[in-house]
A and B are shown apart, each in its own frame.
Chain A
């Protein structure tokens, strides 16, 4: 139990600090154009990285598996229908089916 408490406390404090430091340091001021131009592009960069590190890797090695196919199928649903729930449900179902075969 003490391990759990220490991990939870540690994760809580670091998460608060990480989320807080940007807004703490950068206040309401006029944004330079270069800052805005970079900020707009952060989302595609970060989300693409999160997708590939989860779907194409397993820990610190690259790994393609049933989940890769499932996520691709989910992506197709997101792209065609725009449905987030459809995307995650299809991804899970396709992955589960492939593993059951």
Chain B
């Protein structure tokens, strides 16, 4: 995040580090033999930075996972199944949605479909991330698994490109928090009591509100946030869960107007 904004880098290997400004101003004098070591240490630094920035979200997510562990038991999942679900699926909103539908007596297909709809916001996030990932299609798809909401926001450089090492670091620590919280909730849930009484259901929207507050730096972002919120609210009574959030991503098309204006201005001055 401290790095200067960069233009879209070459597709080759590592997006960020190839063009990153030298940390100590000595990179130009570095002999080629140590290039790899230098790049390696920079990656490590950003991975650690990702862990650091992801930590608060890992702790908040851990609390959320705690309530997932408790709620999952109520929906008929064994402790082992709840833990396995968190370890394999690793998508909070989708997991809550799936077990809520099971608890209401819904079918497996309904639970999976609803979870997929809730997860559909990862489609635009993944499309945004794709061009910043190196490697062939399969390798990029594998790296794309690291997308979770907070990491995606942390890894964004603010110019439409993403730092994948920040993404990996912040997702890694959140994975530990998510699975650890689920284990605690699934095994110690009866000690904890009722998730509703404890207000644990407020953690999820609060988590996203904290992410949102970080994104409201300028007037255009605030406009898009209001627009996205309104689109979602209007659709809540009309569509299945997940659709309102996916549809809200259309609010980002406000950016088309901004880019058209920027291009027109560039033509005028050029």
Contacts and interface: CB of A to CB of B under 8 A. Distances in A.
Interface of A: 1, 3-8, 10-12, 14-16, 18-31, 33-57, 59-62, 66-67, 70-71, 74-75, 78-79, 82-85, 87-97, 99-100
A61 B236 contact: yes
Contacts of A53: 232-233, 236, 241, 244-245
A16 B126 CA distance: 11
Contacts of B228: 44-49
Interface string B223-237: 011111101110011
Nearest to B231: A49
Given A33-B262, A41-B224, 11 more contacts: A18-B122, A20-B141, A29-B131, A30-B8, A39-B255, A45-B248, A48-B228, A53-B245, A91-B199, A94-B199, A96-B197
B77 A4 contact: yes
B44 interface: no
Interface residues of B, number: 122
Given A46-B249, A50-B208, A31 B84 contact: no
B93 interface: yes
B125 A22 contact: yes
A18 B210 contact: no
B35 interface: no
16 contacts: A3-B102, A7-B102, A8-B88, A10-B112, A11-B94, A22-B130, A28-B131, A34-B259, A41-B252, A49-B232, A50-B205, A53-B241, A53-B244, A60-B237, A62-B237, A84-B210
Contact of B129 (A15, A22, A44, A89): A22
